[in-house]
Amino acid sequence: MVDHTGLLLTIMADSGGTGITLDHYPPAPAVLEAYCAHAGRLEPSVQRFFIAAQLAQHLHQSATGRMVWPENGRERVLDGYLSLLNRDDWCTIARTGLATGDHRVTWLAEALAPGLGLRAFTDAANDE
C-alpha cells in the first residue's frame, strides 16, 4: 500500500493538468509527510528511493508554494525526505542501483542528485 501510494503521489506531482495535482490536493502536505514516515519504516529499495527522491524534488521546487503549509512545514517535510534519502541503508541501495545500471538511479544521479545534494551520489563521487 505504501509503495502504491508513493507512485500515486509522484504521478500527482508531475501530472501537469491531466488530473488532480498535489498542488491542488488540500491534504497533500499531510499525505506527503505521512508517506515519508511510512516509507522510512520499510526496508529501502531502488523503487522507494526513486519515489522519495522525486517527491523531495517536488518539495524542493518553488511550485509547491501553491500548497497550504503550516509555518516552516514544507521545509520540515523536505528535510524528512532528505534525511531518509541520506540514511546509510538507503544510500547503499541507491549506490547498488547505480552500479548495476538501473536506469532510474542513473537518471536520479544525473538529474536530481546535484540539486538535492543526495549523499548516495555525492559521497560516491568523492570516493573515486
pLDDT of residue 126: 44
Per-residue pLDDT of the chain (128 residues; tens, 9 = 90+): 999 999 999 988 887 767 788 888 889 999 999 999 999 999 999 999 999 999 999 999 865 557 778 888 889 999 999 999 999 999 999 999 999 999 999 999 999 888 899 999 987 554 54
pLDDT of residue 113: 85
**Predicted TM-score of the model (pTM):** 0.90
pLDDT of residue 101: 96
pLDDT of residue 122: 85
Distance CA 36, CA 33 (A): 5
Domain carrying residue 107: 2-17+26-127
**Number of domains the chain is built from:** 1
pLDDT of residue 14: 80
| 3-state per-residue secondary structure call for 48-98 | HHHHHHHHHHHHHCHHHHHCCCCCCHHHHHHHHHHHHHCCHHHHHHHHHHH
